[in-house]
Chains A and B, each alone.
Chain A
């Protein structure tokens, strides 16, 4: 069973640009969540999508957005990049049927550097 795939693994962008990250969940998983990981703030929840609908949203500015496609693949977009957006962005998939013993399965992340 393939794991959670995130692309690209690494990105370098300039301040003011926009970026799109992609996540393919485990086959059969309908929930995709996104987290931002930084040394100072730890793991912070961005949003969760389930069956193409945003089901939950963290406390991030509107520059951060996402979507989910009918095949459960998800993308997140960050517009007008700031230096502070430099982070590891992690995608996690789950069956989405409430809290379970399976937890999340995480991808390896996309390392975004804003210069």
Chain B
């Protein structure tokens, strides 16, 4: 299967920016997604980026895609304690039959 890698932990102070990174191996990825999982809950779609885009901004969230390096990042501006959660990147491509490949997840802790 495809490999999607993330660092496991990130800790930031409230009000600072958080940057969560993800690398993937499938060069034919069409859509790349960021999901958030709070304790005891399912995964919530935060945002996505299409593979022909470099950047997408959605309120406090900025997604950057470097297709050459197969690197995706999620920047959360003005991080709040409610942003503490696990963040997963995911990718899908026609070649994988619409199957989603998820990263290992990054646990974000926001320190008040």
> Are chains A and B native binding partners rather than an unrelated pairing?
yes
**A residues neighboring B (CB under 8 Å):** 4, 6, 31, 33, 35, 42-43, 45, 48, 55-56, 59, 90, 92, 94, 96, 98-109
Q: Sort A-B residue pairs by CB-CB distance and give the 7 closest, nearest first.
A: A106-B42, A43-B102, A106-B43, A99-B92, A108-B42, A99-B30, A103-B45
Number of interface residues of B (CB under 8 A): 27
Please state if B44 and A106 are interface contacts (CB–CB under 8 Å).
yes
**B residues neighboring A (CB under 8 Å):** 1, 30-31, 33, 35, 40-45, 48, 50, 88, 90, 92-94, 97-105
Having A99-B31, A104-B45, one finds 8 other A-B pairs with CB under 8 Å, namely A6-B42, A48-B98, A92-B43, A99-B30, A99-B94, A103-B31, A103-B33, A105-B45
A-B contact pairs, 21 of them (CB 8 A): A6-B42, A35-B102, A42-B105, A43-B102, A45-B100, A48-B98, A48-B99, A90-B42, A90-B43, A98-B98, A99-B31, A99-B93, A99-B98, A100-B31, A103-B100, A104-B45, A104-B100, A106-B35, A106-B44, A108-B41, A108-B42
- Chain B residues, CB < 8 A from A99: 30-31, 92-94, 98
Question: A101 touches which one: B1, B41, B50, B103 (CB < 8 A)?
Answer: B50
Please state if A109 and B42 are interface contacts (CB–CB under 8 Å).
yes
Residue on A with the closest CB to B92?
A99
B94 to chain A, nearest CB (A): 7
Please state if B100 and A107 are interface contacts (CB–CB under 8 Å).
no
- Chain A residues, CB < 8 A from B101: 45
CA separation between A37 and B100, bound complex, in Å? 14
B65 to chain A, nearest CB (A): 14
- Chain A residues, CB < 8 A from B102: 35, 42-43
Please state if A43 and B88 are interface contacts (CB–CB under 8 Å).
yes
CA separation between A92 and B42, bound complex, in Å? 9
